Amino acid sequence: MQSPPPVPALINRLSSLDAYRGFVMFLMMAEVLHISQVAKAFPDSDVWKQLAFNTSHVEWSGCSLHDLIQPSFSFLVGAALPFSIASRRAKGQSFWRMLFHAVWRAVLLVALGVFLRSTHSNQTRFTFEDTLSQIGLGYVFLFLLGFTRVWWQLLALVLILVGYWGAFVWYPLPPDDFDYPAQKVSLDWLHEHGFTGRLAHWNKNSNFAWAFDNKFLRLFPRDTPYEPNPGGYATLSFIPTLGTMILGLISGGWLKSDRSKTGKLLLLVVAGGVSLAAGFLLDKYGICPSVKRIWTPAWTLYSGGWCFLILAGFYAVVDGLGWRAPAFPLIVIGMNSIAIYCMAHLIQGFILQSFHIHGVDKYFGHFGSVYEPLVRGGAVLIVYWLILFWMYRHKIFVRI
């Protein structure tokens, strides 16, 4: 397979960042395969159990491959920023013009996140737990840090993580008669997944971030009375998410530097190992649990460590060894990540309806009722990729 022709305007992009972003978005797109549903037909298969686990979110603490989608997407926003700033400087843009663009981008990301969440309920829902909203809420701060040295970025990271940890510890534990079911937390769920002792400060819908949303989200107009998020997601998670983006910013600074490829790779691997170990130890010794849904400091470090290591892998293969051709399908996705993020939320139903209207549905049944959802989802993935490939060939790239 020959390497595809580079797109002239984007020839200086770091292909490993696009490939990693494409891999992340593919994992998100692959939800349409319904692997967890198919796996139920094979209860004794360890392979299907692992596939089901890693294509689903964990209930509270812990980590699956699927849980690394949002951290990776946020991490890569930070990793791309040094290249974006350098590109804008090369075009002669002033700091104030770049700052205005950063503010405008942040507003659009927040608004788009709110809109996409509203499409799931067919009514306006002012919630800010969507990936795009979380990135938008912290993006201006990230942009400003992009003009500082790495030591200031590390200092900001430490202050964010320690401060956020302290806020949860400071917030009082719920009383013994706290009505968890009224907060969308069943007692059975709490018994199986809830924390005890000091870690109870991070239990679902009884913590500092929940208390903030309980007041903040009531300020917005809504069609139905406010109810706590049943998944435990919170607006304030954008603060430690900013920490994840700072880790990405640091990695992007290293990749853009004049260091050798070996030196860059070594930095990514060491940073990944240190961050991964720090997050793991904070959780293991009961200092801070690793919970993605409320983006605890331990989760920021643990997931950030994986992001460093995955980026190191893509950098070694795509930019180090120059194997761009095998990564091309992922690069096509990664170069239009905003487009596919929106498509996955908005047009999946249209594609499935088109399959039904044009009689394509009848062919999916030939694979058996067990595999039918998998085959149907695979067809949707092919349609998604062909749309992105058409956009790539015509140099159409959705940017905010």
For each successive 10 residues of the chain (400 residues), what is the average pLDDT?
43 83 96 93 94 95 97 98 95 96 97 83 74 97 97 98 98 94 96 95 97 94 86 97 98 96 97 98 97 98 98 97 95 95 90 86 83 92 96 93
Nearest to 18 by CA among 373, 393, 338: 338
Contact 81, 146 (CB under 8 A): yes
Longest dimension (CA), the chain: 66
Burial of 178 (0-12, 13-18, 19+ CB in 10 A): middle
Contact 261, 319 (CB under 8 A): yes
Instruction: Estimate the crossing angle of helix 337-346 against helix 348-357, to 10 degrees.
Output: 60
Tokens of 35: 């692997």
- Predicted local distance difference test score (pLDDT) of residue 116: 87
Q: How many whole angstroms separate alpha carbon 355 and alpha carbon 349? A: 10
- Angle of CA points 279, 285, 290, to nearest 5°: 40
- Predicted local distance difference test score (pLDDT) of residue 120: 61
Nearest to 364 by CA among 383, 377, 351: 377
Q: Is 234 helix (H, G, I), strand (E, B) or coil?
A: coil
Q: How many whole angstroms separate alpha carbon 133 and alpha carbon 146? A: 20
Q: How many whole angstroms separate alpha carbon 116 and alpha carbon 23? A: 22
Contact 153, 250 (CB under 8 A): yes
Instruction: Estimate the crossing angle of helix 69-90 against helix 131-145, to 10 degrees.
Output: 40
Q: Provide the whole-model pTM.
A: 0.93
CA-based torsion, 12, 16, 20, 22: positive or negative = positive
CA-based torsion, 253, 257, 261, 263: positive or negative = negative
Q: Where are the domains of the chain?
A: 40-173+180-316
- Predicted local distance difference test score (pLDDT) of residue 1: 40
- The 10 Å Cβ neighbour count of residue 154 is 13
Q: How many whole angstroms separate alpha carbon 56 and alpha carbon 31? A: 8
